[in-house]
Amino acid sequence: MNLEAFTAQGWRAQRHTLTAAQTYLWGSLSALPFVLLAGGLYRMLLFRRAVLLEHTGLILLAVIVISVPLHEALHGLGWKLAGRLQKGDVAFFLRGGIPMCACRTVLPAKAYLIGTLLPFLVLGGGSFLLLFLFPGTVSVLAALVNLMLPGADLEISWRVLKSEAALIADSPDGAGFIGLVRGGENVKNL
């Protein structure tokens, strides 16, 4: 069922989207505590046994090239599994040369949150664990990138929880979502 069908049934739609500037600002602020924790622990506890490599810029580029598509694939996997979605309900595409993922159907808030937070839990958590097991240039850069990438996802998830929406539609035109709340006017803030 699409968004219009829900609003026709009496659901109230509320747009919760971020501008590009808000995405970077709030995303960075949301990720900052985790990045500081990883960096601080690395510097205080792990640096003495770290394997430091040269060519940090190339390593960082490789981490980004690997992490961004994996991050987006985990969004899609989370939404597909948590929402029990069919083929075509999750779309992968390139926007400005950057891989992106979007959910094209309305999901229960819990299923949407699972898909939104899965990259943070898997890549961020996995990179944090890798940092402790094998401290060094590769693991610290992987941890910093994979904790920073889902910053906007953390902010969006916080806004989902604050919105009290029972159903969520991924925003088709930017970072954020359209929350559906029972009752009230048919369409509000669209």
Q: Running along the chain, 190 residues long, what does each successive block of 10 average in pLDDT? A: 83 94 95 96 91 91 97 97 95 90 95 98 96 95 97 97 95 90 58
Q: Are 69 and 99 a contacting pair, CB within 8 Å? A: yes
* Interatomic CA distance for residues 88 and 78, integer angstroms: 14
Q: What is the pLDDT of residue 96?
A: 85
* Interatomic CA distance for residues 143 and 63, integer angstroms: 10
Q: What is the pLDDT of residue 52?
A: 84
Q: Are 63 and 145 a contacting pair, CB within 8 Å? A: yes
pTM of this structure = 0.90
Q: What is the pLDDT of residue 129?
A: 95
* Interatomic CA distance for residues 119 and 106, integer angstroms: 20
* Among 184, 158, 163, 188, residue whose Cα is nearest residue 31: 158
> What is the CA 144 to chain-centroid distance, rounded?
15
Q: What is the pLDDT of residue 185?
A: 47
